[in-house]
Amino acid sequence: MADAVLDGAVTPASKSAAAHGRRHGAGRWLILGLVTLGLLATLFPFFLTVINAIKTSAEYASNGPLALPRGIDLVQILKFWDLSDYSRKLLNSVIISGCVAVFGVILSTLNAYAIGIGKVKGSRAILVILLLGIMVPQESIVYPLYYMAKSVGIYDTQLAVIIVFAVIQSAFGTYLLSSVLASFPREIIEAADIDGANRWQVLWFVVIPVLRPTLMVIGTFFFIWTWNEFLIPLVLLVSNNNQTVSLAMGLTRGQNLSDPVLQAAASLLGIAPTIIFFLIFQRTLTRGVAVGSVK
Amino acid sequence: MAAADGTYAKHRRGYYFYLVPGVIGFTVIVLIPQIANFVLSFTAWKGVGTPRWIGIQNYQKLLADDQFWGSMIHTLMFIISMTIIPVAIGVVLASLLFDYVRDQFGERVANIFRAGFYLPQILPITTAGVLWGWILSPVGVANIVLKAIGLGALAQNWIGDATYALPAVSLMIVWIQVGYCLVVFMAGLSRIDPSLYEAAQLDGAGWWQRLLSITIPMLAPEIFVVILTTLIAALKLFAPVFVLTAGGPDNATMVPSYLTYYHFFTTQRVGYAAAIAVVQMILTVGLAVIFLRLQARQQATE
């Protein structure tokens, strides 16, 4: 009886310890293998796009989408480039996203200076309103914006989209920067005050230099978010000449790209700019997301 | 004292100037349109002429609209692919990458994995839509692969068949969402005290036990943030549906955002569309308020 109890008490513990030890040995390779498999599955669609976008249509028809390409054929890529006026779309996206990044950061900084450093009355209420402003669906403002843009005469201009997104994005920027500036050392500002610097000089020569890395992160976010935006550009930009890359992608379904290689080429051209940003901003992005969502 | 207070108040007032551009912008671009949309939801309007006040009739119609209720049910189903599955995968994956891969193979390897899983998240959703539309088309890669491995009988018209369209769109959404959860959870894991794990390891706790008794409780704040942000995103889901299915086939993937867009710009029933948008807004604000409350409480207890 005593033996049985002893057995019952000891065996499971030693068993799991042994299992644990094994896991650290061969198990670690098993886990690495599983995680790698998951990664390959995630990246597989990207791989498919690349290998098929550079095939000829005949090659796709005879060998199917899984076969590796025999060479690099850019015909379909160039065809979609022409078909969608891709150079124009790229330029439009860069202009719109770039302007939003710059104006959004300026707006956010000014707001956050008043809220975080100035601690003006009603700061907390302003932040709550801003936060609700970012969270509510764009559907509930899109029609009035469409109507307003039409009545002011900026409908179907990039200016309209830039203004709208600079303001919408700055809500998030204000929220983030205000919490950063709330812990800004007061002594530095008081010292500048005593030296006779006015508020503008404090902002320009003291606060902004310290904030610069954060402003870069926020600007990068604004750029990429705006690049990816769909609904508001869809509604505000009707003419082909003003549209962005994301919008052109979203509208390809209507264009009936019957050739699968042409579809792969379209995906590749949609993916390419993102991959380039990703390589440039990888660290900023992955670090920044965590900051942005947990703050 | 009174004089000092006075100059301080004056000093603070000077900062209001810096709020002027932001406040004007936010009022014109967000607040006024929001209010206008709310008012429009009580009118019948075709987008031209004068809106006609009809009280709560739009909302009454909404309650009897099968298309609307269908879209709400689909939203609940998209919560599975926007929130539930990605959070579950994200926690397990983050913990595996953090515990095993980073420990045994180094920080660099773990970072490569993280970056790879995150890649779909930064793609424009419309591009993801073109890509998946191509994979899932009747003659697309998905069916070709099924045939190649001898499961040709399972091949379907994935996005063109009302039975499979919603799961097919969901598959793409999971692919997009896992990276977001993973990155946030891995950032969270780095603030957990490693000695907790070491103690658990000495006690003979396996990986699974540590996941349940240490990782998940310690990650609670991050899990909470991710659940709420993805729930809100699920309520606004638009681009994947627009690009892949346009709400079809036969309304099988209709969601509130697409229904709103459809009535605003296709049927021109602006008042009715505004009412749907108001319902969506109220649900979102409700979730956001719960979020802010709980976050404040959490910060208070920390």
pLDDT in tens, A135-180: 888 999 999 999 999 999 999 999 999 999 999 999 989 988 988 8
Minimal C-alpha gap between A43 and chain B (Å): 7
**Residue B105 near residue B114 (C-beta atoms within 8 A):** no
| Among B265, B262, B287, residue whose Cα is nearest residue B70 | B262
Distance CA A186, CA B25 (A): 29
pLDDT at position B85: 96
B9-45 pLDDT per residue, tens: 556 678 888 999 999 999 999 999 999 999 999 999 9
Q: Among all residues of chain A, which has the CA nearest to that of B125?
A: A228
Distance CA B71, CA B277 (A): 13
Inter-chain touch A250–B242, beta carbons under 8 Å: yes
Predicted ipTM? 0.86
Residue type, A189: I
**Residue A23 near residue B207 (C-beta atoms within 8 A):** yes
pTM of the model: 0.85
pLDDT in tens, chain A (295 residues): 333 333 333 333 333 443 444 445 677 788 888 999 999 999 999 999 999 889 888 888 888 888 888 888 888 899 889 988 999 999 999 999 999 999 999 999 999 999 988 888 888 888 888 888 778 889 999 999 999 999 999 999 999 999 999 999 999 899 889 888 888 888 888 888 888 888 888 889 888 988 888 888 889 889 988 999 999 999 999 998 999 999 988 888 766 667 888 888 889 999 999 888 878 877 666 555 544 443 3
Model confidence band, residue B93 (pLDDT cutoffs 50, 70, 90): very high
B145-198 pLDDT per residue, tens: 888 888 878 888 888 888 899 999 999 999 999 999 998 898 888 878 778 878
**What residues of A are in contact with residue B280 (Cβ under 8 Å)?**
137, 139-140
A243-284 pLDDT per residue, tens: 999 998 888 876 666 788 888 888 999 999 988 887 887 766
Q: What percent of chain B has pLDDT over 70?
A: 95
| Among A242, A279, A259, residue whose Cα is nearest residue A92 | A242
Inter-chain touch B105–A120, beta carbons under 8 Å: no
Mean pLDDT of chain A, nearest integer? 83
pLDDT at position B205: 78
| Among A119, A142, A249, residue whose Cα is nearest residue B244 | A249
**Residue B244 near residue A124 (C-beta atoms within 8 A):** no
Q: Would you call the peptide bond into B217 cis, given omega within 30 degrees of 0 as the criterion?
A: no
Inter-chain touch A282–B130, beta carbons under 8 Å: no
Number of H helices, E strands in chain B: 18, 2
Copy the structure tokens of residue A255: 């264009």
